[in-house]
Structure 1
Amino acid sequence: MTRSGNNAGTSRYDDDLENTWGCASWFEYIFTVIIASVLLIGATALTLFWVIYYRNGFAWRDDPKIQFNLHPVLMVAGFITLSGFSILLYRLCRCLKHIYAKMAHTLFHTLAIPCVAIGFLAVYDSHNLNSPPIPNFYSLHSWLGLVTMGLFALQFVIGFFTFLVCLCCAKMTYGCRGAMVPIHASLGLATFLLAIASCISGLTQKAIWTLGDQYSKFTEEGIIINALGCVFIALAILVSFAVRRSNAPATAKVYVTERL
């Protein structure tokens, strides 16, 4: 499961494309990729449908109540869809060299940053500009969201400097990067699951506030909200499975730390 020290620094990112998979492994791989991709795209699409069809679309500071609608769409797009694809690309792209998978992983996380930033600004403005103003950072949803954003920022900074900048002196930093891989992977999955929890708590909070007694009467909007929550739960299960389950056969020449 390991390579000699002489080759570790130079061939670490070479994918072993000679491994033979059985039918079950290929089926599991294809099923995971297809279903996860559909759900990741579907999460943002269903959020867009809900906001446009039931919540009157989008606005900026001229209409704070509708400005709020940017918050769920951008947070789902950033924390769920883009971050989810980033995790899956890094773990499931077996046709790419490892360094290219890292670059794709970083790119998707980078694209998530403006989504999260604008989504946070939208809800903050909508609360402060509302008449009367709505208090900030008091609900469980907001606490979970702040923790998620903090972990996301920490993960990005550590990952950028550890796995990209440190490649400039790969031989000197090999041990450090090897030690950071399981920590980075575990915190990354924890951040994604926290994002799922934040989205579900936010959906529940929004449904209770906006639908009130109608929520218990199985209205169309309530069903859409519940369906979106089920998509998030399915993604939590599927992405966790994809990250922790190694699809490689027992004879594959991979690093244990790279697959944790």
Structure 2
Amino acid sequence: MLEQRSRSYESDDEERGACEWCEYALVITLATILLIGVSALTVFWVIFYREGYGWADDLPEKQFNLHPTLMIGGFVTFSGFSVLLYRICRCFRRIYVKLLHAIFHALAFPCIVIGFLAVFDFHNKKGINNFYSLHSWIGFVAMGLFGLQYAVGFFSFLLLLICSKGTASFRASLVPIHAAFGILTFVLGACACLTGLTEKALFTLGAERYSGLPDEGVVINVIGVTTVAITIIVMYILSRDRFKSQTSDRRISVEL
């Protein structure tokens, strides 16, 4: 009797483990597809409906097109992958995951900087005021937090390479702060992209035409909905403790 009950418990554990693995594979795959897809869809929108890219005094609109593409690429795609790496690369050594995390942040950084410079210069060329809208305010806060996160992450990673044992307690105290502000930066970046897409649709298409839901309006809305879906899935993955790395809790608490 006891042997049958023990076998039943083992069977339940195996089934639960298989279900959790299927859930993990499904949400990680979906997140990866959406993170890449939202940038691809943005490039399609700009090329097909907005005449592509450029950076010249006589082509300010094409210069502006760099702004939504690079901001979505930086704040959503690269930052999203950077946040999820600690769930995707569960079997990697933690030092390698940190390195990949830094690389994706390094890819996001020039995207955000160039995207900001593109729209800032576009406004100056067109005589439009800067930082007057809710979108620009949210974006400014998101950029500030991203820069702060990047500096803290680089500093702590450098300390890890120079003096791993001597800075262990300091880096351990930074872990929850760095993680919390990383999630906040990602969410704020997604909000900035959503408000920017709405602003662009209203300015370019006009409220009356946009309300008629033209093809370009549908594409813009799909980009926005995809961004919302990415945010929901990323937050869900981060909330699942069982998706975390298999590294022991002690080692995680020591390393940043």
* TM interval, short-chain normalised: 0.7 to 0.9
* Greater gyration radius: 2
TM-superposition CA deviations, 1:223-242 (whole Å, max 9, x none):
11111111011111111112
Match of 1:90 in 2: 86
1:160 to 154, 171, 184: 154
Q: How far off its partner does 1:218 sit? A: 1.4
Unaligned runs of 5+ in 2: 1-13
**Contact 1:167–1:173 under 8 Å retained in 2:** no
TM-score for the superposition, normalised by structure 2: 0.87
Match of 2:133 in 1: 139
Return closer, same or farther for 1:42/1:93 CA change in 2, 3 Å cut-off: same
1:179 to 173, 176, 201: 173
Residue aligned with 2:167, SS: helix
1:113 to 2:97 alignment: no
1:57 to 2:52 alignment: yes
Q: More deviation in 64-73 or 90-99?
A: 90-99
Q: How far off its partner does 1:252 sit? A: 7.5
How many angstroms apart in 1 are the aligned matches of 2:64 and 2:104?
24
**Contact 2:131–2:137 under 8 Å retained in 1:** yes
For residues 1-260 of structure 1, the aligned pairs below 5 Å read 22-62=17-57, 63-130=59-126, 133-212=127-206, 213-247=208-242, 253-255=248-250, 257=253
TM-superposition CA deviations, 1:42-89 (whole Å, max 9, x none):
110111111111111111123112210000001111111111111111
How many angstroms apart in 1 are the aligned matches of 2:49 and 2:225?
19
Give the letter aligned to residue 93 of structure 2.
K
Give the letter aligned to residue 214 of structure 2.
T
More helix by share: 2
How many angstroms apart in 1 are the aligned matches of 2:158 and 2:54?
38
**Contact 2:51–2:62 under 8 Å retained in 1:** yes
TM-score for the superposition, normalised by structure 1: 0.86
**Contact 2:78–2:105 under 8 Å retained in 1:** yes
How many angstroms apart in 2 are the aligned matches of 1:194 and 1:135?
22
Q: Percent identity?
A: 50
Match of 2:5 in 1: none
Residue aligned with 1:172, SS: coil
**Contact 2:78–2:108 under 8 Å retained in 1:** yes
Unaligned runs of 5+ in 1: 1-19
Match of 2:11 in 1: none
How many angstroms apart in 2 are the aligned matches of 1:32 and 1:81?
16
Give the letter aligned to residue 229 of structure 1.
G
**Contact 1:68–1:123 under 8 Å retained in 2:** yes
**Contact 2:171–2:254 under 8 Å retained in 1:** no
Length, aligned pairs only = 238
How many angstroms apart in 2 are the aligned matches of 1:258 and 1:241?
25
How many angstroms apart in 1 are the aligned matches of 2:253 and 2:135?
34
Return closer, same or farther for 1:257/1:165 CA change in 2, 3 Å cut-off: closer
